Structure 1
């Protein structure tokens, strides 16, 4: 296993925790803001698996979250959020629906990816490991993390290659945006016939190894996708979050999540397929001002690049 240390300290007010089960070949990632934070979500592809994403719809009662959970395990992985919700509730962290003894209601949106066909031992019967993994991930919260085979990306595959968890940061006029991505797409993250990442043009500081396509390279259809091997709905999916220190409104965060999804098209071919369930959250944990649609547009473009780089970094670290 290859991992690379990467700090998320460029954005304060946020911690992340991971847990994995080596035998099952799966894992969970928990993202927790220091204070309840505005959040939006964008869901694409034909096979999503989510919890509490409807809560984030514009115009609803609740517009802040207390944690976000990313998990392997397909539908079983949604149980990871149960553990996070229970633990936060026990600590009094949540939406206050009334005075005691009415319990608070932690808002914990969640998304899952399918890693149930990766060869791990899935004979868990009535005791899937995800609630336990969610608890362990919550207990390991930190401002530092690793990349590659870790957390929700532990059992992931990207096309016919190892998948993984990656982080990348972009800065636009002093405003920071950080992408945290668990990469498990049906498509390939490499240019066909090469070991050059699809997102090579967005590389920073030789984070991908500095590889570039040959001068005479001509693109062709990739053959290293899951379309031949696992051509069934839901056996894939990229999930993650983009976090910014900009003080964005719920509608601005929704647009940011939409634009961030373009990062998948920049780093994976094909992307957003009927066989994926791609889900990205957008979270605001800062107070930097954004001046109108033009600034938001540039921030959204940076979010797409950050997603493309984070996905690629996770895949390369897991290779």
Structure 2
């Protein structure tokens, strides 16, 4: 019997392929903008995921023990807000939530938001937001994102082309991020499902847990790597030899004792987007499954020190995966399950991209190494 239609159930990837940019922007209509500040006491930033002028259906799943969020109640599937236009991610912990006002102002000027009156300007932009802890990491506790910085990220998203590549590593909301013992940052990835529907993710990794398997020296999420169409490996990583792993462990030991400026408060934030027309309830399930992807690539995750939040988005313009082969005899929900399974894996892959793209940094608060300086 041909089992290719059950590939997602069997943990395989033979029917899946990487999107053109391997980015969340492979979902048509989704754009990303970053703005960051580093130096002179700064090490923080803002990222905006813009869903297009028509807006997107959205949901949220928050599981960390110390979340900092704004307007996530508006994403309740039973609420009045049907579509949103942007999600804001940033640094500054709870202080940074005020920065989302800059995104609101920029959307309002364009007449984008929840319509409350007869005039084009009579809108209330709903901007669900989440922030991570990076206070003082550049040396100045009061250097944190404000409305101007968030507005800068929005303008960058609006100025980008549809399908544009997304900058990764120590940028935007990931400027001051850490991934356990090394520097974190922004990562993105995408997958094209059978039938042509796309699932893409953007992750800001600022985790208390580690993204690296110390036994192998490879990221935990490396297991979910997909090949490019030409056969090239997605990450291109090779396990470090014993001597390199020992050097890494010795270096980490030297950095212990509280000198890492990134602990103990952390957060991993994510947006998972698709063009497949999921309902708000299905998007809520997708956001929940995305947390499984975090658990595959970060250990531990969802601790009291984390503020992990995932936003789900659907533009509703793409095709459902076909019910081919053995799937024809299965329940229609299996089409949704293919999207959910892909979502978990694409989050894990985006986390790896965040870590391998990050740069080391030295600030008045201390030195934070990167994955590549430690393990490659």
Given the two structures, how large is their TM-score scaled by the length of structure 1? 0.88
Instruction: Compute the displacement of 1:212 (Å).
Output: 4.6
Conserved 8 A contact 1:114-1:234 = no
Q: 2:311: which partner in 1?
A: 281
Cα 1:313–1:88 shift into 2, 3 Å: same
Instruction: Compute the displacement of 1:7 (Å).
Output: 5.2
Secondary structure of the 1:111 match is strand
Cα 1:185–1:91 shift into 2, 3 Å: same
**Deviations 1:177-226, CA, capped at 9 Å, x for gaps:** 00100000100000024421111211124333333599xxxxxxx99799
The count of corresponding residues between Structure 1 and Structure 2 is 305
User: Counterparts in 2 of 1:1-319, with a 5 A limit?
Assistant: 8-23=24-39, 24-34=42-52, 35-100=54-119, 103-124=122-143, 128-141=144-157, 142=160, 143-173=164-194, 174-205=196-227, 206-212=233-239, 229=258, 235-290=265-320, 292-318=332-358, 319=370
Instruction: Compute the displacement of 1:136 (Å).
Output: 0.9
Question: How well do the aligned residues superpose, as a CA RMSD in angstroms?
Answer: 2.7
Q: 1:217: which partner in 2?
A: none
Conserved 8 A contact 1:200-1:211 = no
Conserved 8 A contact 2:88-2:130 = yes
Secondary structure of the 1:115 match is coil
Q: Which runs of 5+ in 1 are unaligned?
A: 215-221
* Higher mean C-alpha displacement, 292-301 vs 307-316: 292-301
State the alpha-carbon separation in 2 of the partners of residues 155 and 271 from structure 1. 19
Secondary structure of the 1:183 match is strand
Q: Which has the larger radius of gyration?
A: 2
Cα 1:6–1:251 shift into 2, 3 Å: closer
Q: 1:218: which partner in 2?
A: none
State the alpha-carbon separation in 2 of the partners of residues 119 and 137 from structure 1. 20
* Higher mean C-alpha displacement, 292-301 vs 204-213: 204-213
Instruction: Compute the displacement of 1:77 (Å).
Output: 1.4
State the alpha-carbon separation in 2 of the partners of residues 110 and 44 from structure 1. 15
**Runs of 4+ residues deviating >3 angstroms:** 5-9, 222-234, 289-292
Instruction: Compute the displacement of 1:76 (Å).
Output: 1.7
State the alpha-carbon separation in 1 of the partners of residues 205 and 262 from structure 2. 18
Conserved 8 A contact 1:156-1:162 = yes
**Deviations 1:7-34, CA, capped at 9 Å, x for gaps:** 5552211111000011210010001111
**Deviations 1:24-81, CA, capped at 9 Å, x for gaps:** 1001000111121100000001000111101101211112111100001101211221
Given the two structures, how large is their TM-score scaled by the length of structure 2? 0.75
Q: Which has the higher helix share?
A: 2
Secondary structure of the 1:251 match is helix
Instruction: Compute the displacement of 1:140 (Å).
Output: 1.0
**Deviations 1:128-152, CA, capped at 9 Å, x for gaps:** 4421210111111123321101111
Cα 1:254–1:63 shift into 2, 3 Å: same
**Deviations 1:226-269, CA, capped at 9 Å, x for gaps:** 99748999810100100101011110101111111101111011
Secondary structure of the 1:64 match is coil
